[in-house]
Amino acid sequence: MHSAEIERWLAESDAAALAGLYREADNVRRLRVGDQVHLRGLIEISNVCARACAYCGLRAANAKLTRYKMPAPEIVECAHAAFALGYGTVVLQAGESRTIAADWMADIVRQIKSETPLAVTLSLGERSLEELGLWRKAGADRYLLRFETSDADLFRRIHPPLPGGFSDRIALLAGLRDKGYEVGSGVMTGIPGQTYASLARDIELFRDLDLDMIGVGPYLPHPDTPLGREFSGGGPRLGRQVPSTEEMVYKTIALTRLLCPRANIPSTTALATINTRNGRELGLMRGANVVMPNLTPARYRRHYEIYPNKACIAETPADCSGCLRGRIAAIGRVPGVGPGNRQRETAHV
């Protein structure tokens, strides 16, 4: 599938045509990754962030947010809870900040790996190759770093670099691969200023980077951010602006599955936020094969506000696990077993 065809599908509005696209994506998902839905236990270890990203509620300038950093023993305790609930992976996520010291994080990874059979995924923003190498040696299996958009001008507008710094997330993703990580990335759909052509290039880039994990979620405006205030005023007046809609996320997931048939693709909490009734299920039925139940203790979770009104904010880890397992069963799928690594094609000689 080439860029023009991807762009055409992104702009498609005919319900019958889209139903066909979703069926094809679900068939590819079934053939290439099976009916297992892998549960990745999410721990939001800190909301401290040094960046000034224009869309994110964790941005350093947001003085309305109560900041926190979980103590190491609590993080490890949450990892044990993940194992007890039958998850195969724990995801440690935080804002980008030097308060997450490299040695401190390495010690936590080593402890989780020594005390549980869990795969460990890190999502800690842009870090040096030396730090990433240290965490890989400590036992981290995967790293998530969204490039958010392949449009360089739009990226600079929504992700201003740190003073004296420069962001090259594509190069950093290649560095992660060289360190031996499974590599994950992704984008938001409907960022103010995003065009259909640039989103089509994003999906092509997923394929070109040969990503192991690909996250797609809607842009959800936060009122205490520059983009959130712009969005509330109607956003940019661009004829080819990608809308921030539920349907656009499903189209992007489906097209991503077709271009990246063996990747692990989550049906995100953001989808459940914009459609509390069955958003996650619809994502799973249109190409996704991963969900991320939240293990963050409630006293911290409400302060990890990348966007407002996040779904499942008050659920206990046990409640969240039971709910998701019921939703998975209701669509004829089964919970995954083990870490759920990406399965690559077997070479034939």
Strand, helix or coil at 21? helix
pLDDT in tens, 295-345: 999 999 999 999 988 888 878 899 999 999 999 999 999 999 988 888 876
Tokens of 59: 């941005």
The bridge status of strand 119-123 relative to strand 36-46 is unpaired
Dist CA 197 CA 3 (whole Å) = 8
Q: What is the mean pLDDT of residues 200-219?
A: 96
pLDDT of residue 346: 53
pLDDT of residue 237: 43
> Residue 241 forms beta bridges with which residues?
195
Residue 117: how many CB atoms within 10 A of its CB?
Answer: 10
Residue 107: how many CB atoms within 10 A of its CB?
Answer: 14
Cβ-based neighbours of 15, under 8 Å, separated by 6 or more: none
Cα–Cα nearest to 133, from 176, 165, 70: 176
Tokens of 329: 């069963």
Radius of gyration of the chain (CA): 19
pLDDT of residue 231: 55
Which CATH number does 3-335 carry?
3.20.20.70
Q: What is the mean pLDDT of residues 140-147?
A: 97
Strand, helix or coil at 215? strand
Which whole-number Å values give the CA distances from 132 to 8, 116, 318, in the listed order? 38, 21, 32
pLDDT of residue 69: 98
Amino acid letter at 199? Answer: L
Residue 276 near residue 312 (C-beta atoms within 8 A): no
pLDDT in tens, 234-263: 444 444 899 999 999 999 999 999 999 999
The predicted model scores a pTM of: 0.94
Dist CA 91 CA 89 (whole Å) = 7
Phi and psi at residue 70, to the nearest 5°: -70, 140
Amino acid letter at 8? Answer: R
Element (H, E) at 89: strand 89-94
Q: Is a pLDDT exceeding 80 seen at residue 229? A: no
pLDDT in tens, 98-132: 999 999 999 999 999 999 999 999 999 999 999 99
Dist CA 145 CA 167 (whole Å) = 12
Q: Is a pLDDT exceeding 80 seen at residue 76? A: yes
Dist CA 196 CA 219 (whole Å) = 14
Residue 95 near residue 46 (C-beta atoms within 8 A): yes
pLDDT of residue 94: 98
